[in-house]
Amino acid sequence: MAKENCIISLQGVNKVYDGNTVVNDFNLDITKGEFVTFLGPSGCGKTTTLRMIAGFETPTSGQILLNGEDITRIPPHKRPINTVFQRYALFPYLNVYDNVAFGLKLKKIPYEKTKKDGTVVTKMRHLTREEIDAKVMRALKIIDLEDLETRDISTLSGGQQQRVAIARAIVNEPEILLLDEPLGALDLKMRKEMQLELKDMHKKLGITFIYVTHDQEEALTMSDTIVVMKSGEIQQVGTPIDIYNEPVSAYVANFIGESNIYNATMVGKLKVKFLNHVFDCVDDFPLNEKVDVVVRPEDVEITVIKDEATSDKLVAKITNKIFKGIHYEYVLEVGKSEIVAQSTKDYPLDSMVYIDFEPENIQIMKKELTKNLYPEAYLDKNNKLIISDAKFDVDVSQLLKGSHVDDELYLIAENGKKYDLDDADVIAEIGLGDIEIVDGYDNGNANGVVVSTIYIGDHWQVIVRTQEEEDFVVDTQDTWNEGDLVSVIVKPEKISLTLKGNIDKYEVE
């Protein structure tokens, strides 16, 4: 049931257009007076959701409750909800005053009338000219445009038009104000100003604001609550601080602020391994669990290596440095991985530094593991796939549509072009169910030790770790014991390859 003080509640709302699900099972309660932002990339369904609240679209299924009453099928003009449109949608044939007064002139309010026989009846009447005037002038004052009331819309600047659009909506004293990317058409400086003004207005008016944007900074600056959306589904709901500090998935982390995201493995109690280094952390996850790790650039601690003193800290090389005004932004390299860091201190380019993270700054997120991903694999001269010393037979012709491999192991394209894939860097993907584990140390493509077995519903998930610390996660019906020495076998057709970079550089004459 809806929480207390809930003004609008979306319950299991779905919207399907021509068989495409645009909004999928959307459940959200919004508290009275809250500033809620729907955040997501374009096409994530945020505007559609807003339009369903406004009444321009009807949900395919689900309910929208306003103060507990079902408004799912009520037309927009009967809802106490007003919208500030993306491109303002002002009426160009009316001046500023009449634009703002548009809603008021249509409005009818109840009043009590005593009939001749003494009975009191409730009738509806339009607002008087004076009432409208007072409200319009007050709204124009809120948006700071009192002097422009008689101006034509076309003579206003973008920012001024934006303000008129806001005044036109708030003058009706709606219970909820919907804002559909209202600052999208303004320049950066204007946008920042309007953000603060909107926030201020929200405080003063006490109206519930529902704001739609794809700009994460805007969302962080203004909202009480952020709803992060992806392909029609809610990813996370929380305060800006929660969402920034505790993203639930790599998607949210990536969308909110700049972040370093790595594949990682839990290697001990409160110990996580990524960048080939073990760090302390504060999130408790089961041993050997595959996780995503997020570290914000501002949380990367850089220390200069004083002398040759060896430390067990992670060593990185500064490969790029940009002055950003308040801070420097560094790109550091550890092996083949990159770390983006921000620091107010000035470190020389190309120097070697220590990198460290505070345990609480390492945000660990559960990863829905669907396949084994080997981003640092490559091909050798015999067209075999090398994943840290383990050799696999693969079908390299999948890298180029319509191609085949000739007797000399060159890849021949449809148009006759010839490619030599020796040492080509590829990303290899192997499904969890596509790996076979066999007994013995030398019976397969790679060999290792079973480090983890978990029973998931109807099968075991086994992790085999090689000597080079590469993990193969395998879904199997067989039972294995931790510590077993095993080999893994993967059929060539089960490995999917993606070439890093363009194939053209491997072309031979």
Partner 1 sequence: MKSNKAKRFFTLQRKYLSIPYIVFLVLFIIVPIGIVMFYAFTYEYTDPVTGVKFISASGQAFLNFFTSWSKWNVLFVSLFIATLTTLICLLIGFPLAYFLADKKVNKNAVFVTLFIAPMWINFVLRTGATRDLLTWMGINGGNHPYVATLIGMVQNYLPFVILPLYTTMLKLDKSQIEAARDLGANPTQVFTKNILPQAFPGIVSACLMTFMPTMSSYVISDVLSEGKITLFGNYIELEFTNKAWHDGSFMALVMLVFIGLTMLISQKSSKEGKKEGGSW
Instruction: Name the residues that contact partner 1, by CB under 8 A.
Output: 54-56, 75-77, 81-83, 85-87, 89-94, 102-103, 106-107, 152, 154, 168-169, 172
For residue 380, give both structure tokens: 């050798």
Residue nearer to partner 1 on the CB measure, 78 or 401: 78
Residue among 167, 102, 176 at smallest CA distance from 141: 167
Q: Considering the complex, state which of residue 75 and residue 433 has its C-beta at the smaller distance from partner 1.
A: 75
CB 85, min distance to partner 1, A: 5
Distances (CA, A) of 125 to 109, 117, 134, 438, 501: 5, 21, 17, 84, 70
Judged by CB, which is closer to partner 1: 212, or 355? 212
Of 83 and 236, nearer to partner 1 (C-beta) is: 83
Task: Name the minimum Å distance from CB 90 to partner 1.
Answer: 8
Residue labelled with tokens 């409730």: 122
CA distance 254 to 249: 9
Smaller CB separation from partner 1, 104 or 339: 104
The closest alpha carbon to 124, from 106, 111, 105, belongs to 111
Number of C-beta neighbours around residue 130 at 10 A: 8
Distance, CA of 227 to CA of 246 (rounded, Å): 14
Beta bridge partners of 38: 212, 227
Spatial contact of 2 and 28, defined as CB atoms under 8 Å apart: no
Return the bridge partners of 333, or none.
317, 338
Q: How far is the CB of 234 from partner 1 (least distance, A)?
A: 25
Closest approach of Cβ 77 to partner 1, in Å?
5
Pairing of strands 425-431, 435-439: unpaired
Minimum distance from residue 113 beta carbon to partner 1 (Å): 23
Nearest CB to partner 1, comparing residues 78 and 306: 78
Burial of 379 (0-12, 13-18, 19+ CB in 10 A): buried
- Which candidate, 142, 184, 133, 178, places its Cα nearest to that of 35? 178
Query: Is the Cβ of residue 85 or residue 354 nearer to partner 1 in the bound state?
Result: 85
Least CB distance to partner 1 at residue 141 (A): 20
Shortest distance (Å) from residue 408 CB to partner 1: 55
Question: DSSP secondary-structure letter at 78?
Answer: G
